Structure 1
Amino acid sequence: MDKKKFEQIPGTVPSTQNGHLLISSGISSLDSLLGGGLPVGTVALIEEDFHGLYSKVILKYFLVEGITSIHSVFVASQDVNPANIIRELPAVIDSDPESENPKHGSDANDKMKIAFRYQNLSSLTYESNTKHICHHYDLSKYMSFSDIENCDVYYWSGQRIKNGTNNFSNPAYNDLLKSIKDKIKEGKFFLKDNPEKRTILRIGIHSLGSPMWLPHRKTIHSMDSSRDLDMFIFCLRALVRSAYAVALVTIPSYLYHEMSLERCIHSSDIAMELQSFSGTYLENNQSLSNYHGFFKLNKLAPINSLASRHPGAAEYVFKLRRKKFSIELLHLPPDIQDGHDNKRALSDFGCGPTGKNSLDF
Structure 2
Amino acid sequence: MSSFRKRTAAIQPKLPAGAKLSPHNGQVLVSSGIPSLDDLLGGGLPVGSVVLVLSDRYTDYSNILLRYFVAQGLASGHQLHLASADMDPQKIIQRAPSWTTTSPTPNTSADSPAVQKTTEALDKLKIAWRYQNLPTGDQDTARRTTGTTPFCEKFDLMVPVKPRIIDQATVSYTDLTQPRNTSEDANEDGNDKDRNQGITDDYEALFAELAHAIEDGGFSSLAPAAKAPAERNILRIGIHDLASPYWQAQSDESCARFLHALRGLLRFSFGVCMITLPAHLYQTESERPGAVRRWEQLCDAVVELESFNGSRNTKATAGGLDCNGFFYIHKQPQLNSLVPSSSKLVTVSGNQLSANNLAFKQKRHKFYIETFYLPPEGGVSERRVEPRSSSSSSAAGKTSKTASSGRACSSLDF
Shorter chain as denominator, the TM-score bin is 0.7 to 0.9
User: What secondary structure does 1:265 align onto?
Assistant: helix
1:155 corresponds in structure 2 to 173
1:291 corresponds in structure 2 to 323
2:203 corresponds in structure 1 to 173
Going from structure 1 to structure 2, the CA distance change for 1:9 and 1:3 (only over 3 Å counts) comes to farther
Q: Which amino acid is the alignment partner of residue 180 of structure 2? A: I
- Aligned residues of 1:92 and 1:136 also touching (Cα < 8 A): yes
Specify which of 209, 221, 244 is matched with residue 191 of structure 1: 221
**CA deviation profile, 1:43-71 (whole Å, cap 9, x unmatched):** 00011111451000000000110011000
Going from structure 1 to structure 2, the CA distance change for 1:170 and 1:321 (only over 3 Å counts) comes to farther
Instruction: For 2:95 and 2:151, locate their aligned partners in 1 and report how far apart those are by CA, in whole Å.
Output: 22
2:282 corresponds in structure 1 to 256
Specify which of 262, 280, 283 is matched with residue 311 of structure 2: 280
Going from structure 1 to structure 2, the CA distance change for 1:294 and 1:94 (only over 3 Å counts) comes to same
- Aligned residues of 1:26 and 1:62 also touching (Cα < 8 A): yes
Instruction: For 1:245 and 1:143, locate their aligned partners in 2 and report how far apart those are by CA, in whole Å.
Output: 23
* 2:266 maps to 1:240: yes
Specify which of 158, 164, 176 is matched with residue 140 of structure 1: 158
Q: Which has the larger radius of gyration?
A: 2
2:44 corresponds in structure 1 to 37
Q: Which amino acid is the alignment partner of residue 161 of structure 1? A: R
1:333 corresponds in structure 2 to 375
* 2:338 maps to 1:306: yes
**CA deviation profile, 1:274-321 (whole Å, cap 9, x unmatched):** 111112234793311111111100001321112123534441111111
1:230 corresponds in structure 2 to 256
Q: Give the Å deviation of 1:214.
A: 4.0
Specify which of 88, 92, 99 is matched with residue 92 of structure 1: 99
**CA deviation profile, 1:207-227 (whole Å, cap 9, x unmatched):** 011111144xxxx7xxx33x2
Q: Give the Å deviation of 1:186.
A: 1.6
User: What secondary structure does 2:204 align onto?
Assistant: helix
Specify which of 22, 27, 35 is matched with residue 28 of structure 1: 35
* 2:244 maps to 1:210: yes
1:83 corresponds in structure 2 to 90
1:13 corresponds in structure 2 to 20
Going from structure 1 to structure 2, the CA distance change for 1:279 and 1:313 (only over 3 Å counts) comes to closer
CA RMSD of superposed structures (Å): 2.4
User: What secondary structure does 1:262 align onto?
Assistant: helix
**CA deviation profile, 1:80-138 (whole Å, cap 9, x unmatched):** 1111111111111247xxxxxxxxxxxxxxxxxxxxxxxxxxxxxxxxx8894000000
Going from structure 1 to structure 2, the CA distance change for 1:283 and 1:61 (only over 3 Å counts) comes to farther
Q: Which amino acid is the alignment partner of residue 64 of structure 1? A: A
Going from structure 1 to structure 2, the CA distance change for 1:201 and 1:160 (only over 3 Å counts) comes to farther
User: What secondary structure does 1:8 align onto?
Assistant: coil
Instruction: For 1:306 and 1:12, locate their aligned partners in 2 and report how far apart those are by CA, in whole Å.
Output: 22
Instruction: For 2:277 and 2:43, locate their aligned partners in 1 and report how far apart those are by CA, in whole Å.
Output: 24
**CA deviation profile, 1:22-79 (whole Å, cap 9, x unmatched):** 0000000000000100000000001111145100000000011001100000011111
Instruction: For 1:33 and 1:250, locate their aligned partners in 2 and report how far apart those are by CA, in whole Å.
Output: 18
Instruction: For 2:181 and 2:303, locate their aligned partners in 1 and report how far apart those are by CA, in whole Å.
Output: 32
Deviation beyond 4 Å, 4+ runs, structure 1: none
- Aligned residues of 1:93 and 1:137 also touching (Cα < 8 A): yes
* 2:97 maps to 1:67: no
Instruction: For 1:203 and 1:174, locate their aligned partners in 2 and report how far apart those are by CA, in whole Å.
Output: 16
1:351 corresponds in structure 2 to none
Instruction: For 1:3 and 1:279, locate their aligned partners in 2 and report how far apart those are by CA, in whole Å.
Output: 56
User: What secondary structure does 2:246 align onto?
Assistant: helix
Instruction: For 1:334 and 1:3, locate their aligned partners in 2 and report how far apart those are by CA, in whole Å.
Output: 57
Q: Give the Å deviation of 1:171.
A: 0.8
What is the TM-score with the length of structure 1 in the denominator?
0.76
- Aligned residues of 1:162 and 1:171 also touching (Cα < 8 A): no
User: What secondary structure does 1:185 align onto?
Assistant: helix
User: What secondary structure does 1:260 align onto?
Assistant: helix
Going from structure 1 to structure 2, the CA distance change for 1:3 and 1:277 (only over 3 Å counts) comes to farther
User: What secondary structure does 1:66 align onto?
Assistant: helix
- Aligned residues of 2:17 and 2:233 also touching (Cα < 8 A): yes
Q: Give the Å deviation of 1:322.
A: 1.1
* 2:344 maps to 1:318: no
Q: Give the Å deviation of 1:336.
A: 2.9
Structure 2 portions without partners, runs of 5+: 1-9, 103-144, 184-195, 284-288, 344-352, 381-414
Instruction: For 1:333 and 1:228, locate their aligned partners in 2 and report how far apart those are by CA, in whole Å.
Output: 46
Q: Could you tell me the percent identity over the aligned residues?
A: 35
Q: Give the Å deviation of 1:330.
A: 0.7
